[in-house]
Structure 1
Amino acid sequence: MDQRVSPAAASGWKLESIVRDLRAARREWRAQHGRDREPGGRELPSRQIMGEIVEALAGALFPMRLGPPDLRQESEDLYVGHTLDAALNALLQQASLELGHAAQPGVRPSQEIERQARRIVQDFALALPALRRLLDGDVMAAYRGDPAARSVDEVLLCYPGIIAVIHHRIAHHLYSAGLPLLARIIAELAHSATGIDIHPGARIGSSFFIDHGTGVVIGETAVIGERVRIYQAVTLGAKRFESDETGQLLKGQPRHPIVEDDVVIYAGATILGRITIGAGSTIGGNVWLTRSVPPGSNVSQANVQNQVGNGSVS
Structure 2
Amino acid sequence: MDKEKIIAELNRHKKQPYLDYRLKEETEEFTNTLFYTLFDVNTPVAENLDVLEEKFQHLADMACWELQKPCTKVWDNYVSRLPEVLEKLNLDAEAILDCDPASLSIQEIYMAYPGFYAIAIYRLAHELYIQGFPLVPRLMTEYAHRQTGVDINPGAQIGKSFFIDHATGVVIGETAVIHDHVKIYQGVTLGALYVAKSLQKTKRHPTIMSNVTIYANATILGGNTVIGENSVIGGNAWLTSSVPPNSTVFHTPEIKIKTAPSNV
Settle same-fold status: TM greater than 0.5: yes
User: What's the CA shift string for 1:275-302, capped at 9, x where partnerless?
Assistant: 0000010000000011101111011114
Matched, 1:84 2:32: no
Worse-superposed segment, 189-198 or 176-185: 176-185
Partner of 1:301: 251
Q: Residues 145-294 of structure 1 correspond to what in structure 2 (within 5 A)? A: 145-241=99-195, 248-274=197-223, 275-294=225-244
Shift of 1:44: 7.5
- Whole-Å Cα distance in 1 between the matches of residues 231 and 22 of structure 2? 41
Matched, 1:16 2:1: no
- Whole-Å Cα distance in 1 between the matches of residues 22 and 203 of structure 2? 28
Shift of 1:177: 0.7
Partner of 1:50: 27
Identity %: 40
CA contact (8 A) 1:44 1:98 kept: no
**Unpaired segments ≥5 residues, structure 2:** 254-264
Runs ≥4 in structure 1, deviation > 4 angstroms?
42-45
Where relative contact order (Cα < 8 A, 6+ residues apart) is larger, the structure is 2
- Whole-Å Cα distance in 2 between the matches of residues 180 and 227 of structure 1? 30
TM-score by length of 2: 0.89
Matched, 1:121 2:75: yes
Letter in 2 for 1:277: I
Determine which structure has the larger helix proportion and give its number.
Answer: 1
Matched, 1:93 2:43: no
SS of alignment partner, residue 198 of structure 2: coil
**Unpaired segments ≥5 residues, structure 1:** 1-12, 65-70, 104-109, 243-247, 304-314
TM-score by length of 1: 0.76
CA contact (8 A) 1:210 1:230 kept: yes
Partner of 2:258: none
Q: Which is greater in Rg?
A: 1
- Whole-Å Cα distance in 1 between the matches of residues 181 and 12 of structure 2? 54
CA contact (8 A) 2:23 2:63 kept: no
User: What's the CA shift string for 1:27-56, capped at 9, x where partnerless?
Assistant: xx36xxxx6xx8xxx868711111111111
